[in-house]
Amino acid sequence: MEKDTRLSNIHRFIHWGLALSMLVMLTTILLRLGWMEKRHMAEIIQQGLFKIDLLITDKNAIVIAKNIRNVMFQWHLYFGYSVAVFVLLRFIYMAKYGLQYPSAFDAKANIRQKFQAWVYWLFYLGITLSVVTGLLIEFGPAAIEHQMETVHKLALWYFIPFISLHLAGIILAEFGHDKGVVSRIISG
């Protein structure tokens, strides 16, 4: 008898909710570090004002840039709360229904399965660290805010390697040992 490999609606909802929330957050981070970087925006503001014969200091231009950028970065906070909810739901789901992959400590698991398990656990560790430090930045004591910001920024570097490994794993699975993995996560 073949194992049922369908994924429940709840599993897929949590997966896609977490994926969408994290991609929005990643977009806000990339915008903040790139196009909407405060000094870059301040320069654009000063150039625009210069064209209409207005001059402001670098400091004032940075203040304006930060105010513009903060409106966008509110989305980072909203989707950060969303990530926190989806991660909590994922942990509850895993506690109730078990893992969707063999444990890294399962003697019957092959090397690929153990690698996959470790990648997921490192992902969950990174995302938990990001959520906890983000919540501490927002609601924790001011005395630890700087340290939490440092850890929060460093913790986010797990995400880009995870996306790369996740996409590579999907392609390898779809064309190799686990045909139909994409359709299962989309339609069950």
Stated pTM of the model: 0.82
Residue 130 pLDDT: 93
- For residue 80, pLDDT over 60 is answered with yes
- For residue 8, pLDDT over 60 is answered with yes
Q: Would you place residue 38 in the very low, low, confident or very high pLDDT band (cuts 50, 70, 90)?
A: very high
Q: What angle do CA 86, 79, 131 make, to 5 degrees?
A: 60
Element (H, E) at 133: helix 111-139
Residue 24 pLDDT: 94
d(CA 8, CA 123): 22
Q: Would you place residue 4 in the very low, low, confident or very high pLDDT band (cuts 50, 70, 90)?
A: low
Mean pLDDT, rounded, for 117-136? 92
Q: Would you place residue 112 in the very low, low, confident or very high pLDDT band (cuts 50, 70, 90)?
A: confident
Q: Would you place residue 3 in the very low, low, confident or very high pLDDT band (cuts 50, 70, 90)?
A: low
Residue 5 pLDDT: 65
Mean pLDDT, rounded, for 13-37? 92
Mean pLDDT, rounded, for 94-120? 84
Mean pLDDT, rounded, for 173-180? 81
d(CA 45, CA 60): 10
- For residue 2, pLDDT over 60 is answered with no
Element (H, E) at 142: none
Find the radius of gyration of the CA atoms of the chain.
21
Residue for token pair 């490999």: 5
Find the range with the poorest average confidence among 130-139, 144-153, 179-188: 179-188
| Domains in the chain: boundaries | 1-75, 99-188
Buried b (16+ CB within 10 A) or exposed e, 89-99: ebeebeeeeee
pLDDT tens, 127-146? 999 999 999 999 999 999 99
Residue 10 pLDDT: 93
- For residue 43, pLDDT over 50 is answered with yes
Six-digit token string for 59: 């400091």
